[in-house]
Amino acid sequence: MMPKRSRLGDVRGPISNGPMQSRPLVALLDGRDCSIEMPILKDVATVAFCDAQSTSEIHEKVLNEAVGALMWHTIILTKEDLEKFKALRIIVRIGSGVDNIDVKAAGELGIAVCNVPGYGVEEVADTTMCLILNLYRRTYWLANMVREGKKFTGPEQVRDAAQGCARIRGDTLGLVGLGRIGSAVALRAKVFGFNVSFYDPYLPDGIEKSLGLNRVYTLQELLFHSDCVSLHCTLNEHNHHLINEFTIKQMRPGAFLVNTARGGLVDDEALAVALKQGRIRAAALDVHENEPYNVFQGALKDAPNLLCTPHAAFYSEAATTELREMAASEIRRAIIGNIPECLRNCVNKEYFLRSSTGGGAGGYSEAGINGGYYSGGLQQAHSTTPLEAPHSAGSHAPPSGGGPPPPPVAVIPPVSAVTAPPPQGIIPPPPISETTTATAVQYRHHHHDRRKPLPSTSLITLSVNHAILAELK
């Protein structure tokens, strides 16, 4: 889908810097720890943290001047929220899901939306298998019995306590979605003896042969033949409450259900009824439609045989560090390179048109998000080749390690294209002092009244918590 206007420049013009202007401003919207992002961005941008829960808590300077934004999942950006940002050119979601961003509205405003689909694949896959094993072997419930002081004096008591335990080998695990995580779960499940089937209408034929899996072409067939169903698809307007009263009736009686994808995929009320009736033997949920999840509230509060974790499947120290580094690197590429060519995981790339004359894309300069701020040599050194647009299986994760980026390749412009604006002059970056290279500054709305005039330097001094600054240095 193309923007309504002929040029993205009409929506949001290029950002350039004059000799007296400060460097580009990048804001972490819903967090305060920038210790991992700062080493990656400190030489190309000023980094601010907002620690906001909504755009009403974001400082006016960020709304007016920020060209890049990093965000977790705690803040929601609707069309009205996005229109508050006057200079924003790129949003990077620190995670894989972008359901808390109005991606369509962002594209129409000329704002690129990116995610980090390659992080935490192993962690989520391992957690999924952990939950599946808990359902099959009832480890969680048996451990709670021991903790509560229950004594097992004979096989009859063990049998009664472990009622519902099942053998894994020979059972069918049905995966809804075979992206990175779904594929990782499939490989692990086969080792345990599962027969693995999957449903994913977005994958080309033949992928099942390379992995040794069974492919089905309807959700109904997958549900009917699976002893355990595990969800690994994104959430959108078409699959909200994918598991509902109707689809639960299509499942094999006594099947297990696991969800480590998105909470909105499951209708809690329908699941609660199915658990109470025994139609679903047990369920394990790491994600919930309303988060943070409260076990004492909602439709599932009295549901039996339910195992819930607090949306933590993605987490490990290694995965979190990798995630934040990849998100910050995407922002860096946007500042130095051209949007969207330089971006590895842009989910609304279709809103950005290439020039038919071989120039840049409409609405941004040849020198990228920051005008002529960086030399052509620096841009070329940091340029990357865009990957295919992601589908349900996801695009390939960016390469890890410290090697050089892949060389750029020629891109054939579309028939309907716009002409890029002329390149701007090249202006050298301002010097970076030793005291301004590893400190994040906080922008939050309640600091507005005591804000001092802002200097044109890489560090903007506001009233901030000195303990936090000391920790980040």
| Digit-coded pLDDT (tens) for 249-276 | 999 999 999 999 999 999 999 999 999 9
Query: Residue written as tokens 């977790």?
Result: 72
CA 461 to chain centre: 31
Quick: pLDDT tens for 403-442: 444 444 333 333 333 333 444 443 444 443 333 334 455 6
Question: 245 catalytic, yes or no?
Answer: no
pLDDT class of 125 with cuts at 50, 70, 90: very high
- Give bridge partners of residue 277 from the DSSP assignment: none
Query: Residue written as tokens 């961003």?
Result: 101
CA dist 340 and 50 (Å) reads 26
Pairing assessment for the beta strands 112-114 and 172-176 based on DSSP bridges: unpaired
**Amino acid 119: pLDDT:** 86
Q: Which residues of 5-42 are buried (b: 16+ CB within 10 A; e: fewer)?
A: eebbbebbbbbbbeeeebbbbbbbbbbbebeebbebbb
Percent of the chain with pLDDT over 90: 62
**Amino acid 295: pLDDT:** 86
Query: CB under 8 Å, gap of 24 or more: what pairs does 159-162 form?
Result: 162/138
**CA terminus-to-terminus distance, the chain:** 45
Spell out the domains of the chain, with CATH numbers in brackets: 25-119+318-351 (3.40.50.720), 121-150+163-308 (3.40.50.720)
Provide the token pair at 119: 């992080």
List 138, 232, 262, 354, catalytic entry: 262
**Amino acid 458: pLDDT:** 36
**Amino acid 441: pLDDT:** 59
User: Is the Cα dihedral 98, 100, 105, 111 positive or negative?
Assistant: negative
Is residue 99 within 8 Å of residue 347, measured between CB atoms? Answer: no
Given a cut of 60, whether residue 12 has pLDDT beyond it is no
Quick one: which of 23, 111, 40, 21 has its CA closest to 69? Answer: 111
Strand order in the sheet with 306-308: 214-215, 195-199, 172-176, 228-231, 255-259, 280-285, 306-308
- Looking at this protein, which amino acid is placed at residue 32? R
Is residue 41 within 8 Å of residue 33, measured between CB atoms? Answer: no
In 3-state terms the chain splits into helix, strand, coil percentages (rounded to 5) of 30, 15, 55
Q: What are phi and psi of 255, to 5 degrees?
A: -75, 160
Quick: pLDDT tens for 293-345: 998 899 999 999 999 999 999 999 999 999 999 999 999 999 999 899 999 99
Question: 291 catalytic, yes or no?
Answer: yes
Radius of gyration of the CA atoms of the chain, in A: 25
Quick one: which of 459, 473, 472 has its CA closest to 430? Answer: 459
Angle CA 198–201–205, to nearest 5: 80
Q: Which of 201-205, 226-230, 366-370 has the highest mean pLDDT?
A: 226-230
CA dist 367 and 426 (Å) reads 8
CA dist 354 and 76 (Å) reads 30
Given a cut of 60, whether residue 17 has pLDDT beyond it is no
**Amino acid 153: pLDDT:** 84
What 3-state DSSP class applies to 234? Answer: coil
List 93, 180, 311, 344, catalytic entry: 311
Please enumerate in sequence order all residues whose Cβ is within 8 A of that of 357, keeping only pairs 6 or more positions apart, or say none. 419, 420
**Amino acid 352: pLDDT:** 86
Give helix then strand counts, H and E, for the chain. 16, 13
Given a cut of 50, whether residue 10 has pLDDT beyond it is no
Is residue 128 within 8 Å of residue 121, measured between CB atoms? Answer: no
CA dist 398 and 400 (Å) reads 6
Quick one: which of 255, 252, 253, 231 has its CA closest to 242? Answer: 231
List 60, 245, 291, 471, catalytic entry: 291
DSSP state of 414: P
What 3-state DSSP class applies to 116? Answer: coil
Question: 262 catalytic, yes or no?
Answer: yes
Is residue 349 within 8 Å of residue 386, measured between CB atoms? Answer: yes
Angle CA 369–97–368, to nearest 5: 10
pLDDT class of 443 with cuts at 50, 70, 90: low
Please enumerate in sequence order all residues whose Cβ is within 8 A of that of 34, keeping only pairs 6 or more positions apart, or say none. 28, 47, 49, 440, 472
Is residue 59 within 8 Å of residue 50, measured between CB atoms? Answer: yes
Q: What are phi and psi of 177, to 5 degrees?
A: 105, 130
Please tell me the pTM assigned to this model: 0.68
Quick: pLDDT tens for 346-400: 999 999 864 333 444 344 443 345 443 333 333 333 333 333 333 333 333 444 4
Is residue 241 within 8 Å of residue 263, measured between CB atoms? Answer: no
Query: What are the distances in angstroms from CA 383 to CA 43, 322, 338, 408, 448?
Result: 16, 20, 8, 7, 38
- HSE of 335, CA atoms in CB hemisphere, 13 A: 27
Provide the token pair at 169: 């080998």
CA dist 210 and 262 (Å) reads 27
Quick: pLDDT tens for 457-470: 333 333 333 333 33
For 300, other C-beta atoms within 10 Å of its C-beta total 20
DSSP state of 455: P
